[in-house]
Each structure stands twice: as structure tokens, then as C-alpha cells.
């Protein structure tokens, strides 16, 4: 049976940057903003990697909670972290992150997912984003999905 970590133990755990979306803010924009606020690193959204859903979490204000992990491309590697949110902040080799006990199960799993993506190709794990027109004139939505081959994107009929 897994050990339940106390809240004080979790405060010093390695984790990926994260936070809440602002009203009307897209997932990728939230990830880019939160990474910048916590680390000082500017980045670009690349894909969704995973979605965790849980219910009855003490920190979720009585709501069901979704934690969405995005893959970003950094524009710099120099860290200037927020000392109000982080005790330490550093780049870590994914193979070291997978092995450390000072992290959460979700961080270890996502590190393994990223190692797999680097080795086998991110097309195996990424959920890409495509903006499509909504049924309401002038409105659009974002659809996250595994990438379609080009010949299926333009497909009109079945041969």
C-alpha cells in the first residue's frame, strides 16, 4: 500500500510548474503563463501530454479537479524562479526525475512519458491542438487530438 505523504512532505517535492487558468484562458496559454511566472522561462505550447481527473480533493474548493499537463518548447534555459512559489527550481534530467523518491507519482509517470516521446517520437504521445470553426458564425474552438495523417485531413469521401 502506498504511503500517504503529509502536506509538509509534499511542499519539498519535485513537480512541474502549474496553476489555475484565468477565465477565458486557453490551456496552452495557461501553461505558458504559469511556467513563466514560476520559472522566468518563456516558452511555446506544443501539445497536451496527459489529463488527470480527481474528485473530492481538499485543495479543489469542493469541485472536481482536472490537472492538464502540456509539453512546451522553451525559448531560454536560464531560470529566474519565483521565491514565493518555489523553494528551488532547476532543470533536471528526465531519467533522474523518474528515479527520485522526492516527487509525486504523476510527475514520475509524465517523466516516463516524455522519455518515451524523446526515444520513439512525440507523435506517439502528443495530443495536438487544432482550431476549428464553431457552428456559430465567427467563433472558433480548439480540438485536442492525436495528429491525423495529411491524407485523412483532406478526405472528402471513402474510396
SS3 state at 31: helix
Catalytic residues: 37
How far apart CA 81 and CA 27 sit, in angstroms, is 22
Half-sphere exposure of 147 (CA within 13 A, CB side): 13
Q: Yes or no: say if 45 and 72 are a contact pair by the CB < 8 Å rule.
A: yes
Q: Give the bridge partners for 139, in sequence order.
A: none
SS3 state at 151: helix
Q: Yes or no: say if 53 and 78 are a contact pair by the CB < 8 Å rule.
A: no
Q: What DSSP string describes 95-139?
A: HHHHH-SSB-HHHHHHHHHHHHHHHH-GGGT-BEEEEEE-SSTT-
Amino acid at each position: 500500500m502506498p504511503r500517504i505523504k503529509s502536506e509538509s512532505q509534499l511542499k519539498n517535492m519535485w513537480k512541474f510548474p502549474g496553476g489555475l487558468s484565468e477565465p477565458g484562458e486557453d490551456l496552452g496559454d495557461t501553461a505558458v503563463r504559469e511556467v513563466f511566472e514560476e520559472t522566468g522561462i518563456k516558452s511555446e505550447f506544443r501539445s497536451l501530454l496527459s489529463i488527470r481527473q480527481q474528485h473530492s480533493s481538499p485543495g479543489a474548493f469542493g469541485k472536481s479537479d482536472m490537472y492538464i499537463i502540456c509539453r512546451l518548447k522553451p525559448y531560454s534555459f536560464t531560470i529566474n524562479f519565483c521565491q514565493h512559489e518555489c523553494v528551488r527550481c532547476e532543470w533536471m534530467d528526465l531519467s533522474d526525475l523518474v528515479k527520485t523518491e522526492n516527487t509525486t507519482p504523476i510527475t514520475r509517470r509524465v517523466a516516463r512519458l516524455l522519455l518515451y516521446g524523446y526515444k520513439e517520437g512525440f507523435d506517439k504521445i502528443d495530443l495536438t491542438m487544432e482550431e476549428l470553426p464553431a457552428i456559430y458564425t465567427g467563433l472558433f474552438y480548439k480540438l485536442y487530438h492525436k495528429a491525423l495523417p495529411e491524407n485523412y485531413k483532406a478526405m472528402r469521401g471513402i474510396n
